Each structure stands twice: as C-alpha cells, then as structure tokens.
C-alpha cells in the first residue's frame, strides 16, 4: 500500500437511485480500487463513505477533483474528498462548549510534544473558552447554535478551510446530525462521561449516582449517527465511595475524561486504530514498527 494513494470520498444528499453505482463506476474508470464502502439512508437523507486507493505515479489529483465534482453536480449531491497523506502532520479541530478540562489537556499535550499533530482550530458553542484558545494561539470560532443545521453549515466551511483530518469533541454538548457525521467517518472522537453503553445522554454522572453505581468511568468513542453508540476506542473507570457526592464524582470523572480522550487521540494519530464491523481494534505498537 506504500506506493498507493488513499482517497476518502463522502457523498451526502437526498436519497435517489443510482448514486452508489455512478460513484463506484467513476472510481473504477479512474483505475481505483475500493478498499471499503458504507452507505445509509435516514429520513430520506442519503450518506455514503468510500475509501479507494490509486497508484501514485499516474494519479491526476486536479482532474480527479474536477470530474468528481462534475459527477456530484449531475447527481445533485454534496461530495467531500479527503486525501490521506501519511507524511503530513494531521490537522485537528477541537469542539467545546462550556467545560474546558479536555481542551486544556489536549493543548498542553501539544505543547509538551505528546500530540504529534497540528491543533488548527477550536469551535465553541459557547464563548467561555476563547481566552484559552488565544493563550495557545489557536484560532477560535464561536458558532451560535440556535439552529444546529445552520451552525453545522458554518462549521463545515471552517473544517474545509483548515483541511481538518480529525475532529475531537472535548465535551461539546451538541448532537451532530447525520448530515455532518457522514462527512467524517471514523474521524470524530467523542468523550462520554460513563462506561457506555450504560448511562447515555448528558447527565451520566447524575444517573450513575442515583442508581448507586459502584464503578463510574468514561468512554472515548467514534461518533456515528446513533447517539453514544459509536465504536468504543478506550474506557477508564474509578470506584465510588460511600462518601462521594454527585460533585466529587463529577470532578473525579472530569480528570479521567481528559486523560482518556487524550489516549484515544494519541492512538488515532499513531495509526493504531482499525474499525472492523463496528468494533475498534487497537494495533500493537510492535506490529506497527515491524510494518514500517
């Protein structure tokens, strides 16, 4: 695979016949080999993710982009093209709301060299973390979320502008729509404050306390169109004592969230994650070194 270029194509639009056939035929006509493909329809909205490989030496990127966009116009579909370039540092976007613990952990990890990537932009549904972004010289965009679909249109434009490879939800308290998620298959990582699949939703710590949970933790997972149901990357936990309250559980949980999210991001950046049939497989570091 070292002599081949990997191209990720996502197609989103109103469901209609022939889209899958037309796009796959386009890949084959350009001497591409389809490595994986997935498509879905929700409430009349069609989404497809396709990964194809091409020989480096005879691939014309400019022509490929132009012809695929022409096809997209013919199909009346939105198309996003993402080129996987192993030698380039990946670009990360961090989405946040009010809580800053995950954001600070990721930014500090970048400063210390633990994260080998560029944190290129921070998106805030609130304006509370703008000073943190300014301190680290990272562009910050406060996107008003009165309408999630309108907010996502603005965010998608920013993601394209900064050529984002990975989106990290550092306690971003908004539910992304399928229209957004399908454009970044297995490239959106979220941290959830419970050991999924238990206690989904925004008030996981309260649910755990009310149910008398003896072990509480957090889950880093890929985001899919199904809320809190995406492939699990890693989980961590701690024991709850009789003296613990909702507040102490939350404080302990937030510290663990930051560590667990960083672990998941690091695994992604080290190319140690594979998603097979909805499950995450963590490749051993020794195996990766051997392949190199």
Which CATH number is 170's domain given? Answer: 3.40.50.170
Does 236 fall in a domain?
Answer: yes
φ/ψ of residue 63, rounded to 5: -65, -40
Whole-Å CA distances, 121 to 94, 139, 142, 291: 7, 5, 11, 32
Encoded tokens for 285:
């570091």
How far apart are alpha carbons 58 and 186 in whole angstroms? 28
Query: Mind listing the pLDDT tens digit for each residue in 179-226?
Result: 899 889 899 999 998 887 666 666 776 777 776 777 788 999 999 887
Whole-Å CA distances, 210 to 166, 202, 254: 35, 14, 18
Q: Are residues 169 and 188 in the same domain?
A: yes
Residue where a domain stops, chosen among 84, 104, 133: 84
| pLDDT above 80 for 154 | yes
Across residues 19-39, what is the average pLDDT? 92
DSSP-derived pairing of the beta strands 45-55 and 33-42: antiparallel
Total number of domains constituting the chain: 2
Band of pLDDT at residue 283, cut at 50, 70 and 90 = confident
Residue where a domain stops, chosen among 84, 109, 139: 84
Does 109 fall in a domain?
Answer: yes
φ/ψ of residue 10, rounded to 5: -120, 140
| Active-site annotation holds for 228 | yes
Q: Are residues 245 and 156 in the same domain?
A: yes
Q: Are residues 78 and 107 in the same domain?
A: no
Band of pLDDT at residue 286, cut at 50, 70 and 90 = very low
Please provide the distance, in angstroms rounded to a whole number, between the alpha carbons at the two ends of the chain.
Answer: 12
Residue of 228, 244, 247, 284 marked catalytic:
228
Whole-Å CA distances, 179 to 32, 78, 102, 137, 170: 26, 10, 26, 30, 20
Across residues 113-132, what is the average pLDDT? 96
Does 183 fall in a domain?
Answer: yes
Band of pLDDT at residue 58, cut at 50, 70 and 90 = confident
Residue where a domain stops, chosen among 84, 119, 144: 84
Does 59 fall in a domain?
Answer: yes
Q: What is the mean pLDDT of the chain?
A: 88
Q: What's the pTM?
A: 0.82
Does 287 fall in a domain?
Answer: no
Q: Are residues 74 and 96 in the same domain?
A: no
Q: Are residues 54 and 145 in the same domain?
A: no
| Per-residue pLDDT, 200 | 65
Across residues 98-104, what is the average pLDDT? 95
Could you tell me where the beta strands, DSSP code E, fall in 130-289?
140-142, 166-169, 188-192, 215-222, 232-239, 273-276, 279-282
- Beta-carbon-side half-sphere exposure of residue 191 (alpha carbons within 13 Å): 33
Q: Are residues 97 and 79 in the same domain?
A: no
Q: Are residues 223 and 245 in the same domain?
A: yes
Contact between residue 12 and residue 77 where contact means Cβ atoms under 8 Å apart: yes
Q: What is the CATH number of the domain that holds 67?
A: 3.30.70.260
Which residues, at least 6 apart from 236, have a Cβ–Cβ distance to it below 8 Å? Answer: 217, 218, 256, 259, 260, 263
Q: Are residues 116 and 23 in the same domain?
A: no
Does 105 fall in a domain?
Answer: yes
How far apart are alpha carbons 75 and 23 in whole angstroms? 10
| Per-residue pLDDT, 288 | 40
Q: Cis before residue 197, ω within 30 degrees of 0? A: yes
Does 114 fall in a domain?
Answer: yes
Q: Are residues 79 and 46 in the same domain?
A: yes
φ/ψ of residue 243, rounded to 5: -80, -10
Q: Are residues 264 and 126 in the same domain?
A: yes
Residue 74 sits in which domain range?
4-84
Q: Are residues 55 and 111 in the same domain?
A: no
Does 288 fall in a domain?
Answer: no
Q: Are residues 98 and 74 in the same domain?
A: no
Which residues, at least 6 apart from 284, have a Cβ–Cβ distance to it below 8 Å? Answer: 272
């Amino acid at each position: 695979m070292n002599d081949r270029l990997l191209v990720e194509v996502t197609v989103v639009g109103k469901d209609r016949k022939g889209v899958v056939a037309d796009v796959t035929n386009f890949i084959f006509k350009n001497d591409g080999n389809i490595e994986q493909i997935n498509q879905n329809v929700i409430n009349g909205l069609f989404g497809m993710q396709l990964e194809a490989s091409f020989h480096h030496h005879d691939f014309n990127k400019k022509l490929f982009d132009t012809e695929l966009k022409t096809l997209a116009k013919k199909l009346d579909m939105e198309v996003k093209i993402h080129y996987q370039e192993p030698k380039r540092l990946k670009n990360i976007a961090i989405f946040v709301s009010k809580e800053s613990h995950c954001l600070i952990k990721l930014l500090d990890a970048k400063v210390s060299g633990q994260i080998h990537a560029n944190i290129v932009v921070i998106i805030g549904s609130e304006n509370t973390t703008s000073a943190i972004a300014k301190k680290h010289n990272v562009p910050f965009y406060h996107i008003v979320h009165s309408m999630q679909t309108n907010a996502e249109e603005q965010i998608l434009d920013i993601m394209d502008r900064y050529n984002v490879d990975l989106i990290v939800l550092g306690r971003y308290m908004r539910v992304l729509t399928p229209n957004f998620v399908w454009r970044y298959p297995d490239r959106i990582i979220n941290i959830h404050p419970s050991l999924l699949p238990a206690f989904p939703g925004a008030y996981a710590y309260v649910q755990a306390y009310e149910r008398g949970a003896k072990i509480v933790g957090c889950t880093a997972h890929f985001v899919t169109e199904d809320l809190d149901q995406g492939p699990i990357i890693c989980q961590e936990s701690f024991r709850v004592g009789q003296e613990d309250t909702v507040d102490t559980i939350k404080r302990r949980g937030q510290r663990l969230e930051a560590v667990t999210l960083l672990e998941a991001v690091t695994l992604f950046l080290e190319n140690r994650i594979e998603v097979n049939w909805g499950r995450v497989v963590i490749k051993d570091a020794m195996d990766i070194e051997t392949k190199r």
